[in-house]
Amino acid sequence: MNIIVLHDQVPDSARKDEADGLIQAQAVSDALHELGHQSQLLAASMDLGRLKRDLQRGKPDLVFNLVESLGGHGRLIHIVPALLEALRIPFTGASSESQFTTSNKLIAKRMMRTSYLPTAPWFTIEDVRDDLPALEGGGWGAGEAHRPGTRPIPLPGRYIIKSVWEHASVGLDEDSVVSADAPWQLREALENRLDQLGGDGFAEAYIDGREFNLALLSGEFGPEILPPAEILFDNYPRGKPRVVGYRAKWDEDSFEYHHTPQRHDFPDADSHLIERLSALAIDCWRLFHLHGYARVDFRVDESARSECGGRPWILEINANPCLSPDAGFAAALHHAGIPFSQAIDRIMSEALNRSVTSSASQCGQMFPDSGPLP
């Protein structure tokens, strides 16, 4: 097959997380060649007219979509799959709708809350008003029924300031964790960091506990859960916030980078917790109509109310996690005994099957079965 590997346009002054897009694009291209396909790399820029012409000129049988942003803006991640849908070109990964709803963390959290999936309480700048009363004691009980602007804020408390749209932990590090005694302090913390967060941010209750991520890969009978990973905060000083931020992921000279290893093997005591995390990951796959591959990130607190050794909270759903050889998804494949090229083949097969099913459905709508001819 003729396949276009579509990736972010990487500027000359790219950050490490941006430059990594070329590494994963080349890794996917190499796997496609190993599978016997022809492939070409194509960068997606803000010039959608040119991108449309390049796609039509390339006449791909399939596009392997690795685009995470346009022009450096994560909030535009859904534009490329929307263009591919408009051009009716089969492509891997999530639809434009799924990319949009998972990339906007507030929309994702509201959808999870509506579906009774556990996600930590949160506040936007609009929620944090001076006339909004605080809930003394720092309890979270009311937070589980959060309705913005209609309930007290659990204060004093600890919150982590996050970007609404950006991935790769942009703007996220240990100084993103703030303590607040009054609503105005949360508002001030948000306002001070908006530029680093891509213009939109929110405050989420900080879960001081274990961190897990679960990778999912499409299979013959639905999504397969790959071996889960736990991020260990190795030798972290007492009081240092445990955050997998930008330094932990990309700054090779930092303490965080060298003290956040992953493990994939767990004791029997964690078996119930792993089962619970796996079930929640499948719930997310179904709720957001994900395809091909994905990753769900969790924090697990030390709640004594939980029967599985802690209460899990869903942090984020990544509909197109990084496929670089040194990334977490590749590590999960390795521990599952799945060759990288085989995973690429499964992602492609799911995309092609979905395209055939969609075409058949459209054909059925155009020419419905009206019964036998007289």
Residue 314 within a domain: no
Give the total residue count for the chain.
374
The pLDDT assigned to 299 comes to 95
CA 171, distance to chain mean position in Å, is 16
Residue 305 within a domain: no
How do residues 318-336 score in pLDDT, each as one tens digit?
A: 999 999 999 999 999 999 9
Residue 119 within a domain: no
Mean pLDDT of 15-41: 93
Give 162-192 as a 3 state SS string: EECCCCCCCCCCHHHEEEECCHHHHHHHHHH
Residue 64 within a domain: yes
Q: What is the chain's mean pLDDT, rounded?
A: 87
Residue 34 within a domain: yes
How do residues 151-177 score in pLDDT, each as one tens digit?
A: 566 778 899 999 998 775 666 788 889
The pLDDT assigned to 367 comes to 47
Would the pLDDT of 374 be above 50?
A: no
Residue 37 within a domain: yes
For residue 15, give the CATH number of its domain.
3.40.50.2300
CB neighbour burial string for 50-74, b if at least 16 within 10 angstroms, e if fewer: ebeebbeeeebebbbbbbbbbebeb
Would the pLDDT of 293 be above 90?
A: yes
Report how far residue 78's alpha carbon sits from residue 18's, in angstroms, rounded to the nearest whole number.
17
Report how far residue 136's alpha carbon sits from residue 113's, in angstroms, rounded to the nearest whole number.
24
Give the chain as a 3 state SS string: CEEEEEEECCCCCCCHHHHHHHHHHHHHHHHHHHCCCEEEEEEECCCHHHHHHHHHHHCCCEEEECCCCECCEHHHCCHHHHHHHHHCCCECCCCHHHHHHHHCHHHHHHHHHHCCCCCCCEECCCCCCCCCCEECCCCCHHHHHCCCCCCCEECCEEEEEEECCCCCCCCCCHHHEEEECCHHHHHHHHHHHCHHHCCCEEEEECCCCEEEEEEEEEECCEEEECCCEEECCCCCCCCCCCCCCHHHHHCCCCHHHHCCCEECCCCHHHHHHHHHHHHHHHHHHHHCCCCCEEEEEEEECCCCCCCCCCCEEEEEEECCCCCCCCCHHHHHHHHHCCCHHHHHHHHHHHHHHHHHHHHHHHHHHHCCCCCCCC
Closest-CA residue to 28 (of 337, 226, 335, 320): 320
Instruction: Report which of residues 370 and 78 the model is more confident about.
Output: 78
Residue 86 within a domain: yes
Which residues fall within 8 angstroms of residue 371, CB to CB, at 6 or more apart? none
**Domain ranges, residue 7:** 2-92
Residue 149 within a domain: no
Report how far residue 229's alpha carbon sits from residue 332's, in angstroms, rounded to the nearest whole number.
7
Would the pLDDT of 373 be above 60?
A: no
What total of structural domains would you count in the chain? Answer: 1
Placement of tokens 């535009």 in the chain: 76
pTM for the structure as a whole: 0.88
How do residues 75-112 score in pLDDT, each as one tens digit?
A: 999 999 999 999 999 999 999 999 999 999 999 999 99
The pLDDT assigned to 249 comes to 86
Would the pLDDT of 70 be above 80?
A: yes
As given in the structure block, the two tokens for residue 215 are 């990778």
Closest-CA residue to 143 (of 318, 317, 316, 313): 313
Residue 208: other Cβ atoms inside 10 A: 11
How do residues 208-245 score in pLDDT, each as one tens digit?
A: 999 999 999 999 889 999 999 999 999 999 888 898 88
